[in-house]
Structures are given as C-alpha cells and as structure tokens.
Structure 1
C-alpha cells in the first residue's frame, strides 16, 4: 500500500488541473513539499483532483457521544462506506422523515459506534435519545463532499429490542432566492433531485468477545412520515402534533449515489449555547403581541405549550421594530421565518430541529390563552468555537460596539461564515469572510472553522482558477475583486494569528491558481464589470450598493495584494526566490498599470477620489515610493472635510483605522471610533443595536429603514474594526516574523478619550494580557503578561522594552 504522502504526490502529478497552472519550478517545489508531508503529521487525501485535508477530531464539549479520535487509516475506511444511501419511497417535499431499524444485541456489548451522514440535515437517536448535534452534518458543497459524524453510543444500548432512528429533512437542499427560486443544479443526480434528502449510516457493535455486528443503511430500514410537515431554513417549521406517524410504514429507496463524497467531520460542530429569557412583552400600536429577548441572535425558540387538538399557533420572528414600534419583517424579503404548531391537546416542550432563525423579537400572530413569558426561551445556536479574546475599556458605548461584534460573529458563524442569519440569503459570502477573518480570529479560535470552509472554497474553485463569490456555491461562478481574494487572505490571517503553516501548504494550490487566473485573463477579469466594489460605501448615491471607488482600480489593487501575499506564503513554504521572480515582475507590472491609469503627478487620481481608494493604496503598499506621507495627508484632509466621518464600505473599512495609526494620526483614528453621526460605528449603538448592521444607516435618524430589498441587522463585516481594538487600542499585535504570537509585540496606542483599555488573548502558549490606564499623577500605567517560555517587545511612544515571561508593570 502506498503511503498517504506518496498517494498525495502521485495525485498531484496526475492532476491535469494542477499541471496546467504550475511552472516546472513551482511544481518541483510542491512535489518536494508534499513528499515530505510527514512533517505535518496529518493525513492528506486527494478528492476529485483537489487536495483536501482530514483533520483530527476535537472532543465535542456538549455532546458526549461524539468520538474524540485521530483520523487513522481505519477511520478513513469507516464502515459507513459499506452502507447505502437511502431516501423515502414517497415524495417527502419539505417534510421530515424518520428512517429506523430495530435490532437486538446478540451478546454483552463492549462498545458501539454510530456513524451518520445526510444529504440534508439529520437527527439521530438510539432508543429515543438524541445523539447528534444541531443541524448535522453541516453544510458543504454537496456534489463534492459531505461530512459524517461518529458517536459513541455504547451506554445507550440495552438487552432486548433497540431502535436506531434517523430523522432527516432537506436542510440546505432547497430552492434559493439567489437562483430565482430554483435549487442548485449541481446537486441533482438521476436518483436524487436537488431538494430531496437522503441518509447513510453504520452502527458497529463490538461484543466482549471482540466479534462485531454491523448494521448498515439499506433495504433492512423502514421509513415513515413525521409530525414535521414542513422544515425550511428560510421559511421555518410546520409541526402537527396531531399527525398520526404510525399509521403507515414505508420501504426505503436504496440509491446508487456515490459514497466517495463522504468525509470525516472537519469543522466545528454546531451546538446550543446561551438560553435567553424574554425581557419584555410588548403590545404594539397595531395591537400585536410581541416578545423581546433583548438580543439579536441566531437560533430558535423552545416553547412550553398546550394547544387544543386541531388548532394552531403561529409565531413570526423579526430583528427590529419599525419607527412606530410595530413588528417589522419586510427586510426578510421572501423568507417567512415562521413557526406553525398544530396542537393535539397535550402538553409539549418543543423546539425546532431542522432549521434556524435570526431574530430578537417574536410576534404571537396566532396564540391561545395568556402569553406568559415563562413559556418562551430563545436558544442561541452557532459553531462550537472556543472564545479566546476579551476586550474592555472605560467607555460603555465602545464596550457595546465590541459586544455587537461578538454577537454578529456568533450569529453568522454557523458552520459556514454567512452574511446574515434571517432573510432569504444566508450564504457564505467570501468578501464578508475575508474582511472579518482577522477580527474573528482574535475573538474565537476559528482555525478549524475556516479550515472546513476553505476546503469547500478549494472544491468550488472553477477549473479556470476562478473563485466564486460565495461558498458553498450554488452555481454562480463569476469572481469579484476582494471577494475571491478570500482564498489568499483568510489562510494568511490564520497563519499570522495561529502560526498555521500547514493551512498555507494545504491551500497553496488554490491560492496559486487564483493568482494565475487573474494574470491569464488580464483586463478581461479586471474590467469584467462583475465586481461588487467597495460594497455599501457612503461615497456615492446610497440607493446603490457598489460605492464610488473605481472597481477596476480595486481589481488591480487586490491582484497586486494577493500576489504579494502569495510570494510571502511561497517563501514560508520553502519556494526559492528564483522561482518567484516572475511573480515579483507581475507585481511591478500591475503597479505600473495602476500608476499609468490611476495616478497623476505621483498622487492617486481615481475619479472620484475616495477614502477607500487612498486607504487601499496605503495599506497594500501601492503608493509610488516617497509619496506615502502625502497620500496619508490627503486621506486625513478628506476625513476632516467630511466632518470627521468615514465614507468607506466593506473593502475600505477594515484598514481605515490601521492606516491612520500606521501614519501617526492616532487622534483622528480615535475620533472616527468615537464618531456617532452616521456613518459611524457608534451610530448603530446609539440606535439600540445589539449586533452589527449591514448598512451604516440601517435605521435613519427619522426612524425609517434603508430599503427593504437588502437590510440586515445582523451582518458582521463592519465589525472588522474589532481587530484594531485588540491589535492597536490594546496593542496585542501579530508579527509576520513570529506568527502565532511565538514572540509578542505589544504596541498599544493610548488616548485621553479613555481611562483604560484591557484585553487578553488565549494562545497555544498561554494567555497574553495587555492593559493600560491613566493614573492620577498624569502618567500611564501599562501591564503586560507574557506566557511562560515566551518573550515580548513592548513599544510605547519612543520607548522599547524587551520582556520575558511573567507580568510586567511599566509607568510612562
């Protein structure tokens, strides 16, 4: 048998896609690197001519049934590969179906392992006890791969009759508004439509005498309808408690659908987190009964209720109330976000299992009896990421902004980094992910989360090298500058934050193919007219979304920036400088093109000149040598001319404060942070936001809303400012030369607007802490904590201190 590294190497050499894009020098480097893959102590596999990575399982905190085992050869050959995909023999539509089989253990059981997956979502139970996590198996590019999960169910088996049950629903296999109400054509096969679901499972029972019994999905299973009459991620749930589920059992339809798409759990599991109680029952001017949970969130309700047989309750969800205080759902567009529960006269404690909702408020559209707040609990649901970052300062509004950033991330990091959790979209937009990735990595450990998503980015990359604008992709393949570049920027940020060199290696081919694509198409890509631009900037007519900054300029700028990062990544992975000379030349050619088309007399001259245009030029290093100070001064003048307000959109905002502080304009950076006139970060805070808004002016001063066509109140992109709070205000900064904080750079930037700032960051080496506060005598006290075995460099104003492990207090 060939080793995993040799298999991967041979796969690469045979890959037509790869050889079409790699020069012989780079190919030799990749060959050598993959041949030495044992350095990484991980298992690499090739799937559909693309490199995919099989991670190790982590212990699943909230689900003791999920196994914590390394991926070994035996795991890769899990018995689930011997099972068959099965689906109902009837048209299930949006209803959920229960697949089940009874079994009797023959002897005393030593251990039992259940492996399950679904095209759709599933809930697995043994003898009525749920063992699976929320919305398993998660969302992937279904035509390329689907994750399976392993559960230790030993303690749930007993002597006599046992029941294995898997209830499944469509999940993300549904019609999409982005496709005009159609489903993803790539997911359809001869046996399975793009909206149908199927399950596959194996139960391996090992007896005390080490013999095994293996139960596999196939003809031995039966299926029946359930009380879940409709489950739709956009529209919600219809649950009929009075529906008779035992009247008819159906045979399953066994499919020939490929099992090669199965892959072990790679990302973080999705699970339940906070439980929120109502803070207020509101009776609106329209006479609606509305319950406020005090926090915009993603998850679902848990209801305690008894509904008369045959009657129903209807509950709608919303993020916000309108200017008159009425329930507002127009921004949901076609999504219903509605629960319909039909009663059977019995008492139930009930919650959804196959969808999720984005909401702060619920409306009791139809209700029986008193609306007792004790009947309602909001359960927060997101990927089970470890919280590693904390930030606090003396200003309540900045703390609320930070709170909103955290909750925006929690709400949208649900297996995939989505744009929003409520309207008929909820897609893994690449641009949103790349602008927020650095902040996300300070808040939570997102390395594993992004590993899984980046695998699908690679799988969805087109044969040309193009990266689609959202992943998992539904068939929309045209790339956009600043969006497609997520395939470069996100791995780079994971490297800086966590030192994840291995991720760079795994994504290297994807990165290179994207960079090469841009040069191969040249102006056909840059001037395609498909770029989203500086999305939602306030430097153009705000009725349109693309901002005023030239899209072509931004495309050239991102091409240069991604190439710069590609060269850095290549050198980290051991590629020789001589093999990268062509790319160095391409950067210079791109700069020359930018200077020719968009500069005049050494100064940026895009029409119109925008804050974002200058920020990108400065942050990406695109200013002609010696003109950087002049460009920074021009940026400052433009901000002052706009009453000290920003105008940047999605692409300019993440870098704005960094550029100002990099060029010494610390006071102006803090002025923008504290600005509360629209557009600003504190504008939404002052208007009661509990998560980040999609638009700077999602609610106007007069209480009216931005257009109902695209107006989310839970959109994390502008929360990218959070990385400036950690890295500049608190001063816990990354270092390219020492990634993953193996050497710490403390560089706090102090302001008189705050009495104190403190932050902490948990790393693999220990917890880093940085704090500063103004003292009564006019001095500033700095306190830095360096984990055991590490060193740090602390820079305050013109003074530099070299620190060793321990806690250090400095007065300056």
Structure 2
C-alpha cells in the first residue's frame, strides 16, 4: 500500500527569511511522496495569526507555487504560522505539514519615525544612545538602514549576521531597511544601542580612470528604530535623532574599491554597552539625505557563506609573501596576529600572478588594499567590514614575526541565496568550467548583479545579467534578488524617459547609454522578468515590469523608425568578439544593427507574451504584430532567400536561429549549415562575443549540428571556454584571453578574471546536454530532451524546482546509453530521447536504455594536399599537424592555429606555403603515421 503524501513546510513569500515585505505574501509548498504520477487535487491552508485566531482556506486543483495569500492582509509586525495539507488526484491525503512562521516586516503609514543622522563627514564613525527597558519584554524588533553601509549593536552584540547592510539600491529613488528580532539582546534596566557607519557605495567614486567622481551627494547617514513590545501591551520606540552622539572609531578610511584602514589603537571597549563614558563624543548631526521613504528589503541579505584556508604560501621573485587560496573568490581575509602597538600589517589583493608577482594592473584605480594597525595587547583578530575584494592571491606585508598560514582565512561573501542546481560530467575540464561558472555567479551576485568584483567598476551592467539570467536562475534561487534589482531598473528607466541604462544603479552619467538605448543591455528589462516567470512561475515579476517592458520597446521603435531596423545610436554589438583588438572590444564581426534589430524583435515578442499572460489582450496583439513586422524587416534586410546573413559571422546566425527569425524551415536549415561551416572555418574556436556566446551551441544543436557544438564546447585552444581552465582559471574570465598563453595579462585596459557573461552557455549545458528544462512556468511541466555529444561519456543536471528536486542525465557504456529522469510530485515531464522516442511521465524516477554507438571514423591517406576541412574535422589529424609544426617553429604553429580559415576547396599546403621544407616534411610524416581508423 502506498503511504500517504507528506505536505512540506510552506514558504511564505519569495524566500525563507523570517520577515516578509508584503501584506499579502505568496505561499508555496512541496509534497513528498514515493507514489508515481502523484498530482495535487487540492490543498488546505491554515493560518494562525498573532492573536491566536485560526483560519483555513481551500485551494482547488494543482496550484502550489506562489499561491496568492488567501487571507486578510497582514498588519505591521504581525506574526503568523502557516501550514498546509494536500489531497492527491489518486485519493490520497496528507496530514497537516510542519508550520512555517513569518513576521510582517513592513511598516504602516507613518510607521517610519527615525531621523537620518551621522557625523557630517565621509569618515566612518560610530553612533550611540542609551535607553531603559521598563518592564518584561514580549518582543523587540529593530528596523535599520543607511545611506551608506551600517552595522547595529544592542548591548555590544551584533543585531544580525548580514554584511554591507542595507545593500546597494538606486539611492535617489529607493532605499531598503532591514528588520531583526533583537528580543534576546535586551535586558531589564539600562541598555545601549550602537551603530557603526561607513560610506560604502553611497560615497564611492564611480567612473573610469580620471573620470571617476562621486555620484551620490551627501555624507553617510543611518536611521534606525527599535520597537519594544512589553507583555502588558504597551510599546516603546527608540529611534535615531539629534539626541544621539557620535565618535570616531578605529576605521580610519574605507572604500569599496580602495579597501579599509583600521587602527585598533582607536577602538574604545564597551562603546555599544550601557555606561560607556561618551562625554568626548559629539552630538549627532541630522543629515540631509534623498527624500526617500525606506521600504523593507525584498531579497536575501549579503552574508559570509564559506571560509577557505590558505592553499599555499609563496615567496615571489621580489621576496614578498603571497598567499594562494586556490580559488578566485569575492570577500575578505580574516587575520589573527600579535605584535607591538602601532605596527601595521598590509594586505594587497589580486586575482592572478604575473611574472610571479601580484597582478594588479587589471584593478585599474582600485587599490584593493587593507591595512591593520595593531593594538599591541596580545593576539588580535580582525577582518574588514566595509569593503570586499575579488582575489585568489593576497600579498602580506609587515607581518610581525614568523608567518603561519593558519593565521589567515578567506571569507566568501555574497547575497545569501539558496543553491538550487548543478551539473556533473566525467569530462574533468568541462566540470571545472561549470564550477567556475558557479563561483563567478557567487562573486558577482553581491547586493546587485555586477559585471566584475575586483577592479574600479563592480557595476550592475544590464547586458551581462541579460545573457546570464537563465543560468543564474538554475544555479541559485535568485528570484527575490533579481526582483529587487528590477525595481531599481524600472525606477532608473522612468527617470531616463524610457531608456534602460547600461548600468543599474545608474551611476556613470559620463558613459553613453544612460540617455540613449543600447541593444542587448537595455533589453534586460524584457528578458530578465521573462526568465523569472519561466523558471519560478513569478507572474508578479512580469506585472511589476510590464509597463517598463512596453515603454522600452516603444523607445526603441522611435529610434528604429518606420523601417523597423535599429541601426543608429551607440551600440556595444557583440561585445568582446575574440577578433576585436584589445582596446576596441566593440569591434565585432557581426554588424551592430543586426544585433540591435534582433533584440528589438525579441523584446517585442517577450512583451507580447507577457501581455497575454497578464490578460492584456490588446497589448498582446499590438506587440505581437510589431514583432512580426520587425521579423519581416530583419529578413528583408539581413537574410538572403538562400539563408546567408549579410554579416557572415557566427553571432548573426546564432541570433537569427535562436530568436526564430528565419522565414521557414528550409531557410533555417540553410542558416544552420552556414553556422556550422563558420564554426568549422574558425577551427572550432569561439568566434562570438557577449551576445552570441550563450546562443551558438543552441543554434547548432537546433539545426542538427551537435557534432560541431561538441567540438566547440570541448575545444581547449584559445579562444574557447576551456582554454582558461587549462590556464588554471577558477572563475570565468571577461576576455577569452584575459591571460595569454605565456602567462602574461592581456594588454587591454579592460581585463577581469571574474565575469559571468561568457559562462551563459551553462544554461545550454543544463537544458540541452543534460536535458533538464522547464516546459511550463516554474517547471510544473519539465522537458527532458538530452543531446548526446561525441566528446562526453556522461552528463547530468539537478535542479530544485518550486515543486521539488528534478534530475536528468545520461551515461554511455560502450554503444549503450542509459538515460535517467526524476520528476517531483505534482509535476510532469515530456521526454524525448535521441532516438526520437517520446514519453509523458509523472512524478518518480524513470529510466530508459538506447543504442547509440559513437560514429566510427575511417581515415584515408592524409598529406599536405588534403582538404583543410578533412584535416580540421579529424581531431587527431589536426593535433598531429599542429604538433609537428610546433616542434620546429612555435610561432608558425600559433599563426596556423590562429589565422587559418578551415574552408573547403583549399589544401593544407595553402596555409603552409611559406613554411620551410623541414616543417612540410614533418607534417607529412606526422599525417602518414596516423592509423587508418
């Protein structure tokens, strides 16, 4: 007999944080059951409210993800318990599941009473006051925020474990506050309330090189209110105001880019405890700040999520001590040190070494340096609080006495999102690449989705997250994180008259694109909400962004004009095409107008779909019609009837195929063949930039060229996804050749070793190679359609969908391939195996076996007169040719690899026409030595 299902603890809101920002938080729950094909027929939801009242609501059907709140709205500070029981379509029923608890974290009208206070200067400082707890406390909630970054303490104890609070938002439009239950920190009688405050992003200088300027004006300021509820029903509120006092603390300087300087001799013990003598402190200054009413934080906070030990202690050629943590990460280091008072330890951070020394040139204006001056009274432990760095290596200067690796630990810091997905394969380099994608996301999802975490930038570039959002939504639960950021996008766009800035928050006005639309960057406003709906069933994300989506399309339509071709203005195009010169990263093979018009079509199409989902039928028809007209204009201008693109480059074909811009199946097939030919002509090296890279393998597979996608994916020569892995990369690089083969750093002025954009191909690994994709919003229906790649023996992906754990994978055993899929309860999967066999399955674990022998290659005699295509399509022959040339002339081998176009009708002798006879002879011998099969 099959046991009854078990209803899981529901989630109240978008995450598991204890405070919810909305009066009507959505509810989600999962069901556990071993029963196959289990589907929910209905559910009961019970709420116990703060006063003890108990209510029950009924849900008919299978809805269990982001179910609208079925009760009266929550009141400010109200606590609720919610539990669920479910009924199955098979007649099964669960008992009541475990309850979830949440507290309303928002404030009612007039509920924010705190004044913003500070010292009247940029320097980090401390604020304090004392207050009396006059009775037995039932509960105490602390609401706090800052224009800057802050930390709050009650009686010397930290209020929470979050970092860099309240995070970065578009301060002139929006500021969030944090809520924490600090009941356990209070005591009867006299208590102390302290706040540490620094400038953070608010006082940072944004911009490039000499153009860096402060964007936000004013000094850092904090505001907080402590609401104390007594058991007798009365309430006291302790709020920041002019009666507080401020004093300088031990943080002498701090900056996101420059680092932190801390003088432990200036630390005053007990400053956040009652009875501290603050007579030397000054009255707090009421600060002039933007006229913004703080709102509750709607995504997870930033936290320390992992700690890494030193992997190796190095001594550089210059005699410096450098620590290698073995992983490029984002965060800080914590040191434990003892020495004389006044002695300073210096910590310099970098991602790579160059010539054995710290490679700091890519940091540009960012010093990324922390300094700690010792107190001198024994062993001291310290980590900076108001900065973060992107680094693998730390140079330690001025360490007193003998250095021990155990004295330093790296703390990994990012927004604390739950991990929800992964990919595994026995191909070691590809597995490391995917691990690098994960680490890159961790480092760049820090309060906002940034482009890089190390240099004088760390900005919310819209184009980067536009191409990476599908990958991000698979790997981590980033719905709340991206929803919060999208609120800033909408506000910044509104202020820019419909133009979506290239960076959000928009803090670099000197850069073009803050006043004029830029394709693929501004399109984040249509793409990212669509991803949140597809992956999380988050219809509210579409609703909140729809007007902005429509306005963006309208703005682009104004620029494109009646011809509907977006060919003017500032464009980044296929940014960082590997053929672009180091200092001209926008000079791509694909015409920028093709990129822009393709995205114009894509955004119109996504806006139409969003309108249909939201019941806005007239808008749906309007934007669908517009998308159809754009597609027609695109085809007329850029695609010949025979399927050739006017920009004969891989990104052009990948965009047109992936976005569905071909006129018909015949034209699409021709475009796929041409894309395959171009990929091969480039020696199966990457020939795409930011825009084309996430799409090229998808377009190849969709048009029947998985063999070319396999070669491209597993290429190890530069440029390729795996070349950085062969160079020791532990994150994804900004450039394909951020580090050159000789170990030197790319000479361009813009080089980062931690950018996630080029890792967007991981979404294809999840969806197509492993075969795990959403077929309906939130994975209520799953598509399992794995693609076998000749270069892999296995591939698998798992994802914690809103309904539970899903899995898809395959493994070869000789000519037999075993396929496995796992479907969570209350979901179904449409399965299509490589043979063409199709299945429709419900929850449970499913397996199939098919025969798929790897293709056997027969090899005719090869030599200098062999066709170039024949050589490059034979990996063993290609490697033999390069090895033979490299053994005698490494520079000629590099030129052969980097400049040859492997096209039909030309022989191997052509690119070697000027080679010495010794080289030609070596090539002939190497090819002759190859086996016949």
Asked if these proteins are the same fold (TM beyond 0.5), I'd say yes
Aligned to 2:205: 175
Aligned to 2:589: 548
Aligned to 1:12: none
Once residues 210 and 294 of structure 2 are traced to their aligned partners in structure 1, the CA distance between those partners, rounded to angstroms, is: 29
Aligned to 1:757: 795
Once residues 345 and 772 of structure 1 are traced to their aligned partners in structure 2, the CA distance between those partners, rounded to angstroms, is: 60
SS in 1 for 2:102: coil
Query: Would you say 1:595 and 2:635 are equivalent positions?
Result: yes
Query: Would you say 1:154 and 2:178 are equivalent positions?
Result: no
Aligned to 2:152: 124
1:501-650 counterparts in 2 under 5 A?
Answer: 501-522=539-560, 526-546=566-586, 547-576=588-617, 578-607=618-647, 609-625=648-664, 626-650=666-690
Question: What is the Cα deviation at residue 601 of structure 1?
Answer: 4.3
Query: Would you say 1:704 and 2:741 are equivalent positions?
Result: no
Aligned to 1:468: 501
Question: What is the Cα deviation at residue 470 of structure 1?
Answer: 0.7
Question: What is the Cα deviation at residue 708 of structure 1?
Answer: 5.1
Question: What is the Cα deviation at residue 97 of structure 1?
Answer: 0.8
Query: Would you say 1:345 and 2:376 are equivalent positions?
Result: yes
Aligned to 2:873: none
Aligned to 1:25: none
Aligned partner of 1:809 among 813, 825, 847: 847
Task: Return closer, same or farther for 1:303/1:42 CA change in 2, 3 Å cut-off.
Answer: farther
Which stretch of structure 1 is more off in the superposition, 466-475 or 304-313? Answer: 304-313
Once residues 527 and 197 of structure 1 are traced to their aligned partners in structure 2, the CA distance between those partners, rounded to angstroms, is: 43
SS in 1 for 2:616: coil
Once residues 484 and 602 of structure 1 are traced to their aligned partners in structure 2, the CA distance between those partners, rounded to angstroms, is: 32
Once residues 259 and 541 of structure 1 are traced to their aligned partners in structure 2, the CA distance between those partners, rounded to angstroms, is: 45
- Tell me if structure 2 keeps the 8 A contact 1:539–1:610: no
Computing the radius of gyration over CA atoms, which structure comes out larger, 1 or 2? Answer: 2
Aligned to 1:96: 124
Which stretch of structure 1 is more off in the superposition, 613-622 or 538-547? Answer: 538-547
Task: Return closer, same or farther for 1:179/1:685 CA change in 2, 3 Å cut-off.
Answer: closer
Question: What is the Cα deviation at residue 310 of structure 1?
Answer: 1.8
Task: Return closer, same or farther for 1:367/1:42 CA change in 2, 3 Å cut-off.
Answer: farther
Question: What is the Cα deviation at residue 183 of structure 1?
Answer: 4.0
CA-to-aligned-CA distance 1:643-667 (integer Å, 9 cap, x gap): 1122000000011111111111112
- Tell me if structure 2 keeps the 8 A contact 1:57–1:266: no
1:656-735 counterparts in 2 under 5 A?
Answer: 656-707=696-747, 709-735=749-775
Once residues 460 and 68 of structure 1 are traced to their aligned partners in structure 2, the CA distance between those partners, rounded to angstroms, is: 35
Aligned partner of 2:811 among 773, 776, 787: 773
Which stretch of structure 1 is more off in the superposition, 676-685 or 160-169? Answer: 160-169
What number of residue pairs does the alignment pair up?
744
Task: Return closer, same or farther for 1:669/1:753 CA change in 2, 3 Å cut-off.
Answer: same
TM-score scaled by structure 1? Answer: 0.88
1:44-55 counterparts in 2 under 5 A?
Answer: none
Task: Return closer, same or farther for 1:182/1:250 CA change in 2, 3 Å cut-off.
Answer: farther
TM-score scaled by structure 2? Answer: 0.77
Once residues 257 and 212 of structure 2 are traced to their aligned partners in structure 1, the CA distance between those partners, rounded to angstroms, is: 14
Aligned to 2:431: 399
Once residues 565 and 135 of structure 2 are traced to their aligned partners in structure 1, the CA distance between those partners, rounded to angstroms, is: 65
- Tell me if structure 2 keeps the 8 A contact 1:419–1:715: yes
Aligned to 2:534: 496
- Tell me if structure 2 keeps the 8 A contact 1:611–1:646: no
Question: What is the Cα deviation at residue 268 of structure 1?
Answer: 1.4
SS in 1 for 2:672: helix
CA-to-aligned-CA distance 1:387-444 (integer Å, 9 cap, x gap): 1102111111111011100000001000100001100000000000010000011101
Aligned to 2:924: none
Question: What is the Cα deviation at residue 743 of structure 1?
Answer: 1.1
Once residues 310 and 266 of structure 2 are traced to their aligned partners in structure 1, the CA distance between those partners, rounded to angstroms, is: 30
- Tell me if structure 1 keeps the 8 A contact 2:583–2:749: no
Question: What is the Cα deviation at residue 261 of structure 1?
Answer: 2.9
Task: Return closer, same or farther for 1:4/1:265 CA change in 2, 3 Å cut-off.
Answer: closer
Aligned partner of 1:796 among 833, 842, 867: 833
Once residues 430 and 337 of structure 2 are traced to their aligned partners in structure 1, the CA distance between those partners, rounded to angstroms, is: 40
Aligned partner of 1:238 among 242, 261, 264: 261
Task: Return closer, same or farther for 1:312/1:256 CA change in 2, 3 Å cut-off.
Answer: closer
Aligned partner of 1:329 among 328, 350, 360: 360
Query: Would you say 1:319 and 2:356 are equivalent positions?
Result: no
Question: What is the Cα deviation at residue 290 of structure 1?
Answer: 0.4
Once residues 502 and 201 of structure 1 are traced to their aligned partners in structure 2, the CA distance between those partners, rounded to angstroms, is: 30
- Tell me if structure 2 keeps the 8 A contact 1:268–1:385: yes
Once residues 706 and 564 of structure 1 are traced to their aligned partners in structure 2, the CA distance between those partners, rounded to angstroms, is: 39
Task: Return closer, same or farther for 1:208/1:795 CA change in 2, 3 Å cut-off.
Answer: same
Once residues 646 and 550 of structure 2 are traced to their aligned partners in structure 1, the CA distance between those partners, rounded to angstroms, is: 29
Aligned to 1:85: 116
Once residues 80 and 819 of structure 2 are traced to their aligned partners in structure 1, the CA distance between those partners, rounded to angstroms, is: 40
Which stretch of structure 1 is more off in the superposition, 517-526 or 198-207? Answer: 517-526
- Tell me if structure 1 keeps the 8 A contact 2:643–2:668: no
1:185-264 counterparts in 2 under 5 A?
Answer: 185=215, 187-188=216-217, 193=218, 196-243=219-266, 248-255=280-287, 257=289, 260-264=292-296
Question: What is the Cα deviation at residue 68 of structure 1?
Answer: 6.7
Aligned partner of 1:114 among 134, 139, 142: 142
Aligned to 2:779: 741
Question: What is the Cα deviation at residue 582 of structure 1?
Answer: 3.4
Aligned to 2:416: 384
Task: Return closer, same or farther for 1:327/1:579 CA change in 2, 3 Å cut-off.
Answer: closer
Task: Return closer, same or farther for 1:592/1:772 CA change in 2, 3 Å cut-off.
Answer: closer
- Tell me if structure 1 keeps the 8 A contact 2:311–2:326: yes
Aligned to 2:887: none
Once residues 621 and 417 of structure 2 are traced to their aligned partners in structure 1, the CA distance between those partners, rounded to angstroms, is: 40
Query: Would you say 1:444 and 2:468 are equivalent positions?
Result: no
Aligned to 1:134: 163
Task: Return closer, same or farther for 1:475/1:594 CA change in 2, 3 Å cut-off.
Answer: same
Aligned to 1:9: none
Once residues 292 and 794 of structure 2 are traced to their aligned partners in structure 1, the CA distance between those partners, rounded to angstroms, is: 55
- Tell me if structure 1 keeps the 8 A contact 2:774–2:780: no
Once residues 361 and 57 of structure 1 are traced to their aligned partners in structure 2, the CA distance between those partners, rounded to angstroms, is: 47
Which stretch of structure 1 is more off in the superposition, 698-707 or 740-749? Answer: 698-707
Task: Return closer, same or farther for 1:603/1:518 CA change in 2, 3 Å cut-off.
Answer: same
- Tell me if structure 1 keeps the 8 A contact 2:651–2:693: yes
Once residues 755 and 527 of structure 1 are traced to their aligned partners in structure 2, the CA distance between those partners, rounded to angstroms, is: 45
Question: What is the Cα deviation at residue 587 of structure 1?
Answer: 2.4
Q: Which runs of 5+ in 1 are unaligned?
A: 6-37, 46-53, 60-66
CA-to-aligned-CA distance 1:744-767 (integer Å, 9 cap, x gap): 111011234322222211112110
Question: What is the Cα deviation at residue 180 of structure 1?
Answer: 4.6
Question: What is the Cα deviation at residue 579 of structure 1?
Answer: 4.5
- Tell me if structure 1 keeps the 8 A contact 2:710–2:790: no
Which stretch of structure 1 is more off in the superposition, 347-356 or 598-607? Answer: 598-607
